[in-house]
Amino acid sequence: MQTLFITATGTNVGKTFTTLQLIKAFSKRNISIGVCKPIETGVVDAPLDAQLLLKACQAVNPTFVSFNPKDITAYTFSLPAAPFSADTKQTIQIETIMNKIDELSSYCDLLIIEGAGGLMVPITRDFMMIDLAKKLDGKVLLVTPSRLGCINDTLLSIEALRSREIDFDWCVNLYEDSEDFAQATQPFYDAIFGNYWFVEEGLDNFISTLK
């Protein structure tokens, strides 16, 4: 099972945006792509993130055409909160999530899995998003924001991934405060890191590094 887990430093950072770009980029290399949004909260009628991801996937992988958005999720909840809090009846089973991922993997060469929130978002009381990433034992892509104050969140997320010996790469989504990023944040990243990139520019190179 080949997987790529997309996570971020928090909510509204650009996981879905990045995943949509990845679907297009992988498909151009004739790689059969599938998508999974294991858990989506804040769902009223249909899971909106899953809807966007599925539509993009269906455009490049005909085996997903018959699916509906809930087919690529394991759990959906109406409360817009962390899965543990949204799951008021405590129904989440990690085995169910893994079975869904395993099922969807059979329809593609590479399954892109989009997490919810950041790495330390609780799925259950004792199981976080980062634990799911570790359990999958695949590549992780960390998406970080460009807004002022993002250095702290980026470093904490990187430290968490390293502490669990998870194979990861990371990129910056130039969105909020993008005009100030070059002066307020980039000097530190350039001084400390040599392996980060921008969603808008580095996707093709990132894909070429994957085995």
Secondary structure (3-state) at 80: coil
176 found inside a domain: no
Choose, from 15, 37, 100, 139, the residue flagged as catalytic: 37
Domain with residue 147: its CATH number is: 3.40.50.300
Is 37 designated active site? Answer: yes
For the segment 40-81, what is each residue's pLDDT rounded down to a tens digit?
A: 999 999 999 999 999 999 999 999 999 999 999 999 999 999
132 found inside a domain: yes
The domain tally of the chain equals 1
Spatial separation of the C-alpha atoms in residues 89 and 84, rounded to whole Å: 9
178 found inside a domain: no
The domain of 162 spans: 7-169+183-204
Mean pLDDT of 133-158: 97
Q: Biggest alpha carbon distance in the chain? A: 48
175 found inside a domain: no
Mean pLDDT of 136-155: 96
pLDDT of res. 192: 95
Structure tokens at 190: 């350039």
Positive or negative, the CA dihedral 94, 100, 104, 105 is: positive
Secondary structure (3-state) at 151: helix
pLDDT of res. 16: 97
pLDDT-based confidence at 1, cuts 50/70/90?
Answer: low
2 found inside a domain: no
Q: Are strands 75-76 and 39-40 parallel, antiparallel or unpaired?
A: parallel
36 found inside a domain: yes
Mean pLDDT of 122-129: 98
For the segment 76-112, what is each residue's pLDDT rounded down to a tens digit?
A: 999 999 999 999 999 999 999 999 999 999 999 999 9
211 found inside a domain: no
Q: Are strands 139-145 and 3-8 parallel, antiparallel or unpaired?
A: parallel
pTM of the model: 0.96
1 found inside a domain: no
For the segment 199-209, what is each residue's pLDDT rounded down to a tens digit?
A: 988 998 999 88
